[in-house]
Amino acid sequence: MTDERHGAAPEAREGEFGVHDASEPGAQHPNSARFFANRDCEYFPCHEGVDEGEFNCLLCYCPLYALGPDCGGNFSYTKRGRKTCVNCNLPHRGESGVDHVMAHYEQLARLAGERPKAL
């Protein structure tokens, strides 16, 4: 396997959590502020349908949950009326999941905004 950017064979690199082989799944997305893969998690991967090398754990608990039906994900409701995201992998789709969440930032900010104080 060669590194397409440099045409050289992948090399091991020292990371925050030890040495990572550039040929490992997820090496195309090193852990950063926009991508984190916790392959040591007992639940990894917790959702199906995302390539292991693209699986982003950065948003382990989806910040869009509070948007209810406006989240844009593949959610459903349980018999008790609770939202369940078990069939949704949206926030785990590499950096595109982060982009989707950031596109909803204003909606989230309004939910978290300061409420008028009671007189």
Q: What confidence score (pLDDT) does residue 104 get?
A: 92
Distance CA 29, CA 55 (A): 9
**Confidence at residue 119, expressed as pLDDT on a 0 to 100 scale:** 67
Asked if the structure places residue 7 within a domain, the reply is: no
What DSSP designation does 99 have?
A: H
Q: What pLDDT score does 28 carry?
A: 58
The number of folded domains in the chain is 1
Q: What is the distance in angstroms between the CA of the first residue and the CA of the last residue of the chain?
A: 67
What is the structure's pLDDT at 79? 95
Query: 0.85 exceeded by the pTM?
Result: no
Residue labelled with tokens 């982060």? 98
Query: Is 3 part of any domain?
Result: no
The pLDDT value recorded for residue 11 is 41
User: Is the Cα dihedral 111, 114, 118, 119 positive or negative?
Assistant: negative
Helix 105-112 × helix 94-103 angle, to 10°: 50
- pLDDT of amino acid 10: 38
**Per-residue pLDDT, 9:** 38
Please give the residue range of the domain that contains residue 47: 12-112
Q: Which portions of the chain are predicted below pLDDT 70?
A: 1-32, 119
- Residue 6 is assigned to a structural domain of this protein: no
What is the predicted pLDDT for the residue at 24?
53
